[in-house]
Amino acid sequence: MRPAILTPVFATAQSLEGVGPRVVDLLKKALRQSQDAHEPRVLDLLKHCPTGVVDRSFRPQIKDATPGVIATLQIRVLKHNAPPGKSRAPYRVICEDETGRIALVFFRANARYLQKQLPMGEIRVVSGRVEQYGDALQMPHPDYIVPLDEIDRMPLIEPVYPMTAGLSPKVLVHAIDQSLSRLPDLDEWQDGAWLRQQGWGGFRESLVHIHKPESAADLSLNGAPRRRLAYDELLANQLALAIVRRSMQAAPGRSVEGNGEITKKILSALPFELTRSQKGAFEEIKADMAGKGRMLRLLQGDVGSGKTVVALLAMAVANEASAQSALMAPTEVLARQHYKTIEPLAVAAGLEVALLTGRDKGRGRRDMLERLEDGKIDILIGTHAIFQEDVAYKNLAFVVIDEQHRFGVHQRLALQAKGGAQGVETLVMTATPIPRTLLMTHYGDLEVSKLLEKPAGRKPITTRAVALDRLDDVLQGLGRAIESGAQIYWVCPLVEESEVLRITPAEERYAHLRQYFGDKVALVHGQMKGEEKDEVMRAFSEGETAVLVATTVIEVGVDVPNATIIVIEHAERFGLSQLHQLRGRVGRGERQSSCILLYDKPLGNTAKSRLDIMRRTEDGFLIAEEDLRLRGGGEILGARQSGEASFNLAEIPDFKELLEAAHDDAALILNRDPGLKSDRGRALRNLLYLFDRDEAVLLFRAG
Ligand code: ADP
Ligand code: MG
């Protein structure tokens, strides 16, 4: 398993001096770890990069100490002014040099301690921020007080780490110091010529530069140490993806080829013609499935471009080849939605479809699993529940994954295992046009089919931005629309976890709208039970209610063609792609649709640009590009992505260039040494472990 040499850095942070359970909790926060992440390890501390430095190299005389800056002063202690009795006034120690005086100021001081630290008449070196107080200078709570002969204890350049309230910088620095000394000597995994060309040092050397900077330049995001470490992380990512990809291609695949009978039935059951894009994408997928390797293909298409039908046709091909297929959606609501779309068409073609979510338990679930194992179910639709351990397929050949940003390498491997020795063909569907860089960090290589046009007959959606203080006008307009039979989504933002509210904005808006429109208004939110949610959704999609107040994107991930108006409250708080996704819930029927973006004044610049773009265009690809521009590239690699695709060291300005290099490098490495068996190969295995990309290593064993 994991090479023994790495054991010291995989130890938990608790094994470090000064780190107990309380500090561990604080470290988790400071390291921005997600709740369910493993306990912080020595390794994680090593990767916790400072964001800047405190520079103590300014060593003026007192008269030149500028208020507001960090200064290191050599002073003589003149006298101690303790506050009288119970006074809350601070304890002041007056000090001097040949040029002037300065007071060291301590609130809630321990007099005995200070007298020991700063004995009268002695020389001390103190370092901290200098302040002006009236016409005197003072230094509140110096960071360092040391005797002259111990001046080496005080670092002239000190790293500043992302912190969290309650965590002491000294504890953190001490923990990181110990972590550095636990890092074993590892063989270099990077190519020597490449390192020289880039001017990069070794892994350890780079970490030392980062944690013990000699100048701010050591921490620069464009500097050698950060770039080297960013490249390590990107190479680990690209190498892992390439290993997975190659092992799938090398593994016995299947050639899934149909006779066209079932797809023909589905096509004739469709109430419409496929668009040219849909036909093209289906042909590409079909050819890929018929090929010997294991397919990994992305189907990209804007909301409403008709991806589901394409996916269904591809599933039908698998069924023609006497195999099963499965579709996995990220949420229960979306799984249900797909089921609703697919089931009637599949039934018309003689296929058996089932829906499996986390909600299915007991008897019903057992029966379903039995029918699945017997091969009676042709298509299984559901959430990640469809890949749980006890779910066995008779002959799974094809899997569709919808909207899968949250789906990582190990899940993909688990999925492959469901297909037995021959694995499965995978189609990933997404409505968010994913930039090439993001695709690369998630997949390394994969094929892409795009749906560029929308089904004919779609009318453009009119989008308006309206300030909240004109809410009454909006409500009057909606009243008229409801009378003429329109249905409306009303979306409220989720509350931040930090906001403790008695009643959520959605509940509040729901109560408010009921005063206007009575029981035509319904509410759906995340805390509701599954069955309750279904009932509300059913009533809305069958037109029993006219206004649906909802909290998140997820709850409105539905297809109700009669819904023609969407109001998005606090639109300024939503990201562009999210707004676009939400807006795509309307404009699905024959009638003219509209979107009202309600915003709270005043609008910041970015928020304003976002709303402007929304008004100007409905082109999802354009919107995604703008989104990326407004958010900056760092977000792509940020921790907000799924755990596995997340990066921390690679968040540097020109990661794209390094990513491309790492992509090519990974291919080169595996061409030369497919099993990572050479000396460098073994060093690269360490790299994979150090960046938690080691699932890929297991494939060498299996293959
Ligand atoms: P997506 O998943 O890409 O957002 P869907 O597959 O849910 O889009 O399709 C949106 C709607 O468009 C559905 O109601 C679907 O039946 C319909 N649709 C799909 N393809 C066509 C087409 N070629 N012509 C007309 N309507 C279509
Ligand atoms: Mg869809």
Distance CA 27, CA 25 (A): 5
The residue whose CA has the least distance to atom 24 of ligand 1 is 455
Q: How confident is the model over 209-228, as pLDDT tens digits?
A: 999 998 888 989 899 999 99
Please tell me if the CB atom of residue 307 comes closer than 6 angstroms to any atom of ligand 1: yes
Distance CA 274, CA 362 (A): 40
The number of the ligand 1 atom at minimal distance from the alpha carbon of 559 is: 14
CB 453 within 8 A of CB 275: yes
User: 244: which 2 tokens?
Assistant: 């997975």
The residue whose CA has the least distance to atom 15 of ligand 1 is 306
Measured between alpha carbons, how far apart are the two ends of the chain, in Å? 15
pLDDT at 702: 46
pLDDT at 164: 87
The more confidently predicted of residues 643 and 255 is 255
Q: How confident is the model over 446-473, as pLDDT tens digits?
A: 788 988 888 877 788 999 999 999 999 9
pLDDT at 634: 47
Q: What is the mean pLDDT of residues 365-388?
A: 94
Listed range (356-360, 367-371, 500-504) with the worst mean pLDDT: 500-504
pLDDT at 289: 93
The residue whose CA has the least distance to atom 18 of ligand 1 is 306
Instruction: Considering every ligand atom shown, identify the ligand nearest to the alpha carbon of residue 588 and give its number.
Output: 1
Provide the total of helices (H) and of strands (E) in the chain, helices listed first. 25, 22
Distance CA 247, CA 243 (A): 6
The vertex-423 CA angle with 386 and 290, nearest 5°, equals 110
Q: Which of 303, 305, 308, 461 to mutate to test the pocket of ligand 1 (most atoms within 8 A of CB)?
A: 308
Q: Transcribe 19-82 into DSSP letters.
A: --HHHHHHHHHHTT--TTSPPPBHHHHHT---SEEEE------GGG--TTSEEEEEEEEEEEEP
What are the E-state strand segments in 557-679?
A: 563-569, 593-599
Q: What is the mean pLDDT of residues 323-343?
A: 89
The number of the ligand 1 atom at minimal distance from the alpha carbon of 309 is: 6
CB 68 within 8 A of CB 128: no
Give residue 639's pLDDT band: very low, low, confident or very high (50, 70, 90).
Answer: very low
pLDDT at 38: 80
Q: How confident is the model over 378-397, as pLDDT tens digits?
A: 999 998 889 888 899 999 99
Please tell me if the CB atom of residue 304 comes closer than 6 angstroms to any atom of ligand 1: yes
Q: How confident is the model over 232-248, as pLDDT tens digits?
A: 999 998 998 888 878 77
pLDDT at 15: 95
pLDDT at 497 over 60: no
pLDDT at 578: 81
Instruction: Considering every ligand atom shown, identify the ligand nearest to the alpha carbon of residue 559 and give its number.
Output: 1
136-140 and 131-133 beta bridge pairing:
antiparallel
Q: Quote the mean pLDDT of the chain.
A: 88
pLDDT at 439 over 90: no
Quote the ligand 1 centre to 461 CA distance (angstroms): 16
pLDDT at 685 over 60: yes
The residue whose CA has the least distance to atom 9 of ligand 1 is 306
Q: Which of 274, 298, 309 to mutate to test the pocket of ligand 1 (most atoms within 8 A of CB)?
A: 309
Please tell me if the CB atom of residue 309 comes closer than 6 angstroms to any atom of ligand 1: yes
Please tell me if the CB atom of residue 541 comes closer than 6 angstroms to any atom of ligand 1: no
Instruction: Considering every ligand atom shown, identify the ligand nearest to the alpha carbon of residue 580 and give its number.
Output: 1
The more confidently predicted of residues 487 and 170 is 487
Q: To the nearest 5 percent, what fractions of the chain are helix, strand and coil?
A: 45, 20, 35
Quote the ligand 1 centre to 445 CA distance (angstroms): 28
Helices 261-269 + 332-348 axis angle, to 10? 100
Quote the ligand 1 centre to 299 CA distance (angstroms): 14
Quote the ligand 2 centre to 487 CA distance (angstroms): 20
Give the CA distances from residue 336 to residues 312, 355, 383, 552, 633, in Å, rounded to whole numbers and listed in that order.
Answer: 15, 7, 9, 17, 34
pLDDT at 333: 79
Please tell me if the CB atom of residue 306 comes closer than 6 angstroms to any atom of ligand 1: yes
The vertex-314 CA angle with 313 and 317, nearest 5°, equals 90
Please tell me if the CB atom of residue 113 comes closer than 6 angstroms to any atom of ligand 1: no
Q: How confident is the model over 523-580, as pLDDT tens digits?
A: 998 778 878 888 898 899 899 999 999 987 555 557 788 999 999 999 998 888 788 8
Please tell me if the CB atom of residue 610 comes closer than 6 angstroms to any atom of ligand 1: no
Q: How confident is the model over 10-40, as pLDDT tens digits?
A: 999 999 999 999 999 999 888 877 666 788 9
Distance CA 109, CA 113 (A): 8
The number of the ligand 1 atom at minimal distance from the alpha carbon of 584 is: 4
pLDDT at 359: 86
Quote the ligand 2 centre to 463 CA distance (angstroms): 21
pLDDT at 454: 81
Q: How confident is the model over 649-676, as pLDDT tens digits?
A: 887 777 888 988 999 999 999 999 999 9
Q: How confident is the model over 85-120, as pLDDT tens digits?
A: 888 899 999 999 999 999 999 998 899 999 999 999
Give residue 640's pLDDT band: very low, low, confident or very high (50, 70, 90).
Answer: very low
Please name the residues in contact with 399: beta carbons below 8 A apart, sequence gap of 6 or more: 325, 326, 327, 328, 415, 418, 419, 424, 425, 426, 427
Give residue 351's pLDDT band: very low, low, confident or very high (50, 70, 90).
Answer: very high
Q: How confident is the model over 148-180, as pLDDT tens digits?
A: 999 988 888 989 998 888 898 889 999 999 999
Walk me through the domains of the chain, giving residue ranges and CATH numbers: 4-54+161-184 (no CATH), 57-154 (2.40.50.140), 261-451 (3.40.50.300), 461-617 (3.40.50.300)
Give the CA distances from residue 190 to residues 12, 36, 223, 338, 699, in Å, rounded to whole numbers and listed in that order.
Answer: 27, 32, 18, 46, 22
